[in-house]
């Protein structure tokens, strides 16, 4: 299948590598391919530059966001949460009629807030939107001709594409969205990744809970200590 991954960050790279390994034709989207390939320094979270990483993944093609979306039959968006709506709106035509799985967290970095949450890497970003809206719903409203599914975001990026890496794979993946056929596509992808426990949370409004879980995920990570991998399981 032709799959477009919009984004070149760490989460995107996990999907790109796994999808290529599974035999899919992977088209990666970035703002400006030349500029992305010219980068030589890690980004602000320490992710190494994309060019050398891409060179180790032959067959994967790098395009602009629009060209990648045009080539993909299924779209996975890993565009930074704060910029996703504007970037995806700009390529609405190339996304029309397709399923888009969004896994971004709508983080607003370096917030000027009254009660900051100090973390080992600076102040915890705030979530915007939060509580009364979600990034996934914003994307769906901006792209009425695209079927948006929220997924992946409550598990670590390495676990998303390889659930068996921890706990024998016995943990839960959530999905939410308005379109049954689009959620089936997400489910098929998750099964191919190795997921056996996928809980459909229902309509896209449930993405509010999935995105807000980001803070709890961080809190658990701080408690367990840097480098400890973990997943979450709904026991029922």
Ligand X SMILES: NC(=O)c1ccc[n+]([C@@H]2O[C@H](COP(=O)([O-])OP(=O)(O)OC[C@H]3O[C@@H](n4cnc5c(N)ncnc54)[C@H](OP(=O)(O)O)[C@@H]3O)[C@@H](O)[C@H]2O)c1
Q: Which residues contribute to the site for ligand X (CB under 6 A)? A: 7-12, 30-31, 36, 43, 78-81, 83, 87, 103-105, 107, 152-153, 155-157, 160
Neighbouring CB atoms inside 10 A of 178's CB total 15
Sign for the CA dihedral angle at 64, 60, 23, 162 comes to negative
User: Could you give the 3-state DSSP secondary structure of residue 92?
Assistant: helix
CA dist list (Å): 167 to 86, 162, 172, 192, 231? 38, 11, 11, 18, 8
Smallest separation, CB 151 to ligand X (Å): 8
Position of minimal CB gap to ligand X: 9
Q: Which residues pair with 200 in a beta bridge?
A: 175
Per DSSP, 7 falls in state -
Smallest separation, CB 117 to ligand X (Å): 16
Is the Cβ of residue 83 or residue 228 nearer to ligand X in the bound state?
83
Return the H-helix or E-strand segment holding 88: helix 84-89
Is the Cβ of residue 71 or residue 114 nearer to ligand X in the bound state?
71
Smallest separation, CB 191 to ligand X (Å): 17
CA distance 176 to 208: 10
Is the Cβ of residue 5 or residue 114 nearer to ligand X in the bound state?
5
Smallest separation, CB 87 to ligand X (Å): 4
Is the Cβ of residue 83 or residue 114 nearer to ligand X in the bound state?
83
Burial tier of 221 (Cβ tally within 10 Å: 0-12, 13-18, 19+): middle
Smallest separation, CB 154 to ligand X (Å): 7
Is the Cβ of residue 114 or residue 215 nearer to ligand X in the bound state?
215
Smallest separation, CB 36 to ligand X (Å): 5
CA distance 199 to 208: 15
Is the Cβ of residue 114 or residue 120 nearer to ligand X in the bound state?
120
Q: Is 210 left (phi over 0), alpha (psi -120 to 50) or beta?
A: alpha
Length of the chain: 236
């Amino acid at each position: 299948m032709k799959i477009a991954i919009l984004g070149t960050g760490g989460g995107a790279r996990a999907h790109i590598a796994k999808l290529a390994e599974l035999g899919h034709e992977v088209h990666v989207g970035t703002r400006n391919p030349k500029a992305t390939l010219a980068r030589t320094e890690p980004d602000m979270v320490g992710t190494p530059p994309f060019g050398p990483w891409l060179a180790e993944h032959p067959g994967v093609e790098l395009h602009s966001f629009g060209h990648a979306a045009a080539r993909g039959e299924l779209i996975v968006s890993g565009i930074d949460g704060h910029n996703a709506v504007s970037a995806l709106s700009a390529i609405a035509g190339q996304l029309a009629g397709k399923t888009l799985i969004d896994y971004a967290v709508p983080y607003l970095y370096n917030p000027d807030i009254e009660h900051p949450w100090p973390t080992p890497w600076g102040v915890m970003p705030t979530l915007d939107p939060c509580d009364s809206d979600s990034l996934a719903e914003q994307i769906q409203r901006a792209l009425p001709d695209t079927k948006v599914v929220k997924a992946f975001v409550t598990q670590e990026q390495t676990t998303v594409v390889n659930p068996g890496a921890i706990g024998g794979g016995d943990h839960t993946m959530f999905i939410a969205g308005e379109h049954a056929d689009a959620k089936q596509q997400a489910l098929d992808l998750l099964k191919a990744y190795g997921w056996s426990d996928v809980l459909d949370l229902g309509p896209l409004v449930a993405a509010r809970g999935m995105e807000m879980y980001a803070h709890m995920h961080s809190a658990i990570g701080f408690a367990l200590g840097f480098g400890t991998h973990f997943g979450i399981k709904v026991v029922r």
